[in-house]
Structure 1
Amino acid sequence: MVRAGLMRIARLRVTLAYGAMLLVVTSALATLDPLARERIVEKASTNLHNLAHGHFGTLLGSAFVVDAGAIAVWLPNLLCLLALAELLWGSTRLVVAFMVGHVGATLLVAAGLIAAVKEGWTSTDITRATDVGVSYGAMAVLGAMTAALPRRWQALWIGWWIGVGAAVVATGGDFTDAGHGLALVLGALVATRFGAPEPWTRWRLGMLAVASWFGFAMVVSTTAALVPATSCGLLCALVGGLASRLSALRTRPTPSATDMVPDFERHALS
């Protein structure tokens, strides 16, 4: 019994270790005065100012600094998402998906912001904007779930998330919202190289439901975006499902005349 419990814990070693580090860092930040906490968040931020000054360590350190409200609300949901991915894909692939999304989306957003500042589309104040947390990595892990789903559900899944993300950006979202969408796509792309996942169970489907709600709450952070995001997500999921269905029908092989002959007649003809 003890051995079986330890084996289950070992399967979630990355999730538990990362959760423990987030708990320690967040608890330590909570003991500091607001000014000191703000300085630490600024130094850990992956904004253009820090990256331009060679502070590339923020690409990793920012994943351990979370400024997103009560830890009792977001940490259990995050751990559910990460644990599901680790059960389906294994520890190494979980780390790969998370880091590709966290670092990749950060760099792509930074490139977009550099272009926006140079063209005068946005104020230079954005170069010092706070950008820390787990959301890019978490969205990439959520995107990686695409390859673990049955093929008939994949287009619905990715269509829903792309629709939700596009609606949030269109209703006044900032660069972080664009980063969420990029991270999701990066996670879905990298997961195509992961191979076959572990099988789904009822418990894992329940974890997927919790992880999906957590992802939706991360992306749709304002009440104003709730209805447009839900509507657009459902529409894009429907379009994706129909497109997938039509594609499957087109690629289905047409039966030959011989295949349409009953077996006993086929043997007689031969």
Structure 2
Amino acid sequence: MIGGIFSRLARVRFTVGYVAALLAISCAILALGPHAHDVLVQRASTNLHNLAHGHVGTLLGSALVVDAGPLYFWLPFLTCLLALAELHLRTIRLVVAFLVGHIGATLVVAAALAAAVEFGWMPVSITRASDVGMSYGALAVLGAMTAVMPQRWRAAWVGWWVAAGLASAIIGGDFTDAGHTVAVVLGVLVSARFQQPVHWTPLRILMLAASAGFGFLMLAHHWGTMAAAPVFGVLGALAAHKVFHFVTGRAALPALPVVDDTLARPQPVATG
């Protein structure tokens, strides 16, 4: 019995290890108090100030410090998402998707903020803004789940998340909202290397629904975006679904036969 439990846990070893680390660090921060929390968040943030001073370790350390509401709410949903992805994508692919989304979105946002500060579009104070958490990596993993969606629903899945992400980034107006959208897109791009058939069971469909709901809350965490993102998401899903069927339908059309009209042409009459 114990051996069976360990064998099942071995299939989701990244999820178990990462969630255990998040739980331990989050509990330690709560025990140390608000001052320790503020200091740790500032030191682990992947803001322009830290990156400009060579604190590149924050690119990984920031994923271990979560400043996003009650632990008992987000940790079970994050565990569900990572476990489902690890079961379907396998451990190495999950790690790749998570790191590409977390680091890639962080660097894209940092570059955009640096340009905005340089041109005077944003205040210098933005360089010290806190930016920690697992949301970039988690949303990239959700985007990477494109690889295991049924072929007929894959385009709609991508269209929904990209459109909802763009709406949230535009309406939310915060740099983290833009980072969330970038992370989803990076996950979708990474998924092109992961495609494989998957047998969906009722339990895994339920886990997917919970994971998608959690991802939506990370994308649309303001009242305005919560109202607008689903509308744009549905429109994006319908548009992507239509484009997919149009393209595949055109590709499936039989080629027109080539008619040899040589015999139908008038033949020259030999003279002489």
The TM-score, its normalising length taken from structure 2, stands at 0.91
The alpha carbon displacement at 1:226 in A equals 1.4
Over 3 Å counting, the alpha-carbon distance change for 1:54 and 1:151 in structure 2 is same
Is the Cα contact below 8 Å between 2:169 and 2:181 reproduced in 1? Answer: no
- The aligned counterpart of 1:98 is 98
- Answer yes or no: is 1:70 the counterpart of 2:70: yes
Alignment of 1:1-270 (within 5 A): 1-196=1-196, 198-254=198-254
The alpha carbon displacement at 1:199 in A equals 2.6
One-letter amino acid matched to 1:40:
L
The alpha carbon displacement at 1:172 in A equals 3.3
Bigger CA radius of gyration: 2
Give identity over the alignment, percent: 53
Count of matched residue pairs: 257
Of the structure 1 ranges 48-57 and 224-233, higher mean CA displacement relative to structure 2 is found in 224-233
Q: List gaps (5 residues or longer) in structure 2.
A: 258-272
The alpha carbon displacement at 1:195 in A equals 4.1
The alpha carbon displacement at 1:114 in A equals 0.7
1:85-106 deviation digits (Å, cap 9, x = unpaired): 0000111111110000000100
Structure 2: distance between partners of 1:172 and 1:23: 29
Is the Cα contact below 8 Å between 1:12 and 1:83 reproduced in 2? Answer: yes
Over 3 Å counting, the alpha-carbon distance change for 1:223 and 1:96 in structure 2 is same
Is the Cα contact below 8 Å between 1:142 and 1:187 reproduced in 2? Answer: yes
Over 3 Å counting, the alpha-carbon distance change for 1:2 and 1:32 in structure 2 is closer
Is the Cα contact below 8 Å between 1:63 and 1:134 reproduced in 2? Answer: yes
Q: Matched residue of 1:171: which SS?
A: helix
The alpha carbon displacement at 1:5 in A equals 2.6
Is the Cα contact below 8 Å between 1:85 and 1:145 reproduced in 2? Answer: yes
Structure 2: distance between partners of 1:29 and 1:246: 53
1:155-188 deviation digits (Å, cap 9, x = unpaired): 1111111111111122132110111111111111
Structure 2: distance between partners of 1:213 and 1:135: 13
The alpha carbon displacement at 1:216 in A equals 0.2
Is the Cα contact below 8 Å between 2:159 and 2:239 reproduced in 1? Answer: yes
Is the Cα contact below 8 Å between 1:88 and 1:199 reproduced in 2? Answer: no
The alpha carbon displacement at 1:52 in A equals 0.1
The alpha carbon displacement at 1:255 in A equals 7.0
Structure 1: distance between partners of 2:123 and 2:197: 45
1:169-223 deviation digits (Å, cap 9, x = unpaired): 2213211011111111111111211242543222111111000000000111011
Structure 2: distance between partners of 1:134 and 1:153: 27
Q: List gaps (5 residues or longer) in structure 1.
A: 258-270
The alpha carbon displacement at 1:33 in A equals 2.5
- The aligned counterpart of 2:265 is none
The alpha carbon displacement at 1:256 in A equals 7.0
The alpha carbon displacement at 1:3 in A equals 3.0
The TM-score, its normalising length taken from structure 1, stands at 0.92
Structure 2: distance between partners of 1:199 and 1:69: 34
Structure 2: distance between partners of 1:102 and 1:205: 25
